[in-house]
Amino acid sequence: MRLTMTGLLVCALALPGVSAVANADPAPLPLISVTTIPDGWSQRTDLRPVLQVFADGKAVHSPDAVSKDRKPETAAKQVTGTVAADVISAARDEINALQEVDFGIPSGEGKGTTIIDLMPEDLVGDAHLVVYSPDSTDGLNPDQQAARKRFTDLCKKLVDAFKEKR
């Protein structure tokens, strides 16, 4: 079996064009991603971020990423554009501040999830904020409710700051 696998690997590397793919620079990862998983979507495998913001300000917005009308086999629409540097900087500060905050978990069944990921290139200071049942406040104390409002405001600020490239 090992000999067969080795032979297949050698053949694959000998094919034209494979070396170009093997040596290509990997696509840059987004600095900030906002992902929403609506209630009832836990079984879907086609989830994509609603917004991806790169360190240079370029951004990709997928306005129908969580649309109930989009069929699972249909890729989400991707609109390219930018987010201003001052918004990115303020978002990074707020994400870092929110790392230490308790968002709580509301009582009742899960009603979706919203995630903000901060992934600097060097991974120093990466952060992953997760809010379960983002539209629910049942059983949460005032501090948790205030933290969720800050999180929601940050998501909205990032998405609203997206300017489509024309």
Contacts 24+ apart (CB under 8 A), 81-87: 81/162, 81/163, 81/164, 81/165, 82/57, 82/58, 82/162, 82/163, 82/165, 83/53, 83/57, 83/59, 83/158, 83/161, 83/162, 83/163, 84/57, 84/161, 84/163, 85/57, 87/157, 87/158, 87/161
Residue type present at position 12? A
The model's pTM is: 0.80
- Written as tens digits, the pLDDT of the chain (166 aa) is 333 333 333 333 344 444 444 555 667 789 999 999 888 776 776 778 999 999 999 999 999 988 888 888 888 899 999 999 999 999 999 999 999 999 999 987 778 899 999 999 887 789 999 999 998 889 999 999 999 999 999 999 999 999 998 8
